[in-house]
Amino acid sequence: MVKKEKIFNFVLVLVLFVTSLVLTGCGQKNEEQIVENTQNDVVENEVVEEKEESPIKNGKYQMVIESQEELPDEDIYLEIYDNQLTLVDGFAQITQIGTFKIEDNKLVGTYNEVEYFDQNTADMTKKEISDELEFEILEDGSLKDNIGFGKIFDKTLYQGETYKLSQEYGDSSDWENLYLSFIKNDLKESDYAIEDDPLIGPFIALIDLNFDEVPELLYYDAEEYINAGDMYTYVYTIENGKVTYKTKTAIRHEERFVKIPDENIIIHYDEYNPATKEWMKVIQDLEEKTLTEYNGNYNMWVSNEDGENQEDITAEEYNKITSTYFENSNIEPEILKTYTLMEDYTDEQKTNIFETAVEEYKNK
């Protein structure tokens, strides 16, 4: 009897011990599961926070005008791209540039640069400044200027005015939609343009001038006061998610180019006058330097802030430079394909023409 009792007690202890181990294991698993779930929650929250969109969109914000008598005809607007804010007052000829961050449903930051028309020198002048900026974000995404601007002139202009998003900016990878929107809504002929004619333009073309794999948009607009057959070419590019005008030069339609990517060089052949050779070294801001030979005279045209200045060079200097780039006989010239684009074309016509130009560009 005692022996049976001992066996029973041993079995009971063993069962209790095993049960304790099982419960302990379950407890550990529950604790581990809780920790794992907590970690997952943290990771999920982090992902949500990373994907949270800014309440402010990149784009152009036009000042809201309640009455036509309230403001002058010239535009007053904001341009926002990431954390940079540019304020433009066309009437006062003031541009202020600053940076901001979002705090308490406001854009808070500092204007650090101003450009304005100096009445004393009759020139546009740039200065560094340190003026506060503060825009309240309204429910519909509009921005209310709580401080105003123009403190450099001992004034506070348009304090309390509201700016509403009128054009959302994309990025350079979206260049097709950006250019198409620009062509349909903003591209205008020069006031001096010759009457529309399929033979003289206007035309558009696409070519990557700065080797960033995003083409520039060229717009050819024949004007009456330049040589017959010439046209001014307006060059547009994508900067900060919008189409930006860069420069104007004289290039004829269906001319030839050779691109040398290793040296970021574009050679421009003048097919109508073989004696004239143009060499364009394109840098990031699309500044041009052109070498020309005309009736045995040699000179260099250098574009700068003051316009185009001619510099005489010797024949030896000219030949040394041109031979460097024009003897690449193994490189086939690219013919710049252009497309007629009249200002009075419908949006559908403009879209079809632009899509054809895009297809041609991508197939080269």
The confidence band for 23, taking pLDDT boundaries of 50, 70 and 90, is very low
CATH topology of domain 59-168: Lipocalin (2.40.128)
Residue range 73-111, pLDDT digits in tens? 568 999 999 899 999 998 889 999 999 999 999 999 999
Residue range 278-310, pLDDT digits in tens? 555 554 345 555 555 544 455 555 544 454 555
Angle at 70 between CA 69 and CA 75, to 5 degrees: 100
Distance in angstroms (rounded) separating the CA atoms of residues 149 and 156: 5
Instruction: Judge if pTM exceeds 0.85.
Output: no
The confidence band for 197, taking pLDDT boundaries of 50, 70 and 90, is low
Q: Side by side, which strands form the sheet with 242-250?
A: 242-250, 232-239, 216-221, 203-207, 339-340
- Mean of all residue pLDDT scores within the chain: 75
The confidence band for 49, taking pLDDT boundaries of 50, 70 and 90, is very low
59-63, 196-200, 301-305, 337-341: lowest mean pLDDT where?
Answer: 301-305
pLDDT exceeding 90 applies to what percent of the chain?
32
* DSSP letter (8 states) at residue 257: E
Q: Are the C-beta atoms of 144 and 161 separated by less than 8 Å?
A: yes
Residue range 127-168, pLDDT digits in tens? 999 999 999 999 999 999 999 999 988 889 999 999 999 888
Q: Domain limits of the chain?
A: 59-168, 172-362
Q: What is the pLDDT of residue 21?
A: 47
Distance in angstroms (rounded) separating the CA atoms of residues 357 and 116: 39
Please check the confidence at residue 45 and state whether its pLDDT lies above 70. Answer: no
65-79, 129-143, 317-331: lowest mean pLDDT where?
Answer: 317-331
The confidence band for 319, taking pLDDT boundaries of 50, 70 and 90, is low
Q: Are the C-beta atoms of 102 and 136 separated by less than 8 Å?
A: no
Distance in angstroms (rounded) separating the CA atoms of residues 335 and 270: 11
Annotate 214-252 with DSSP letters as a single string: SPEEEEEE-BTTS-TT--EEEEEEEETTEEEEEEEEE--
Please check the confidence at residue 116 and state whether its pLDDT lies above 80. Answer: yes
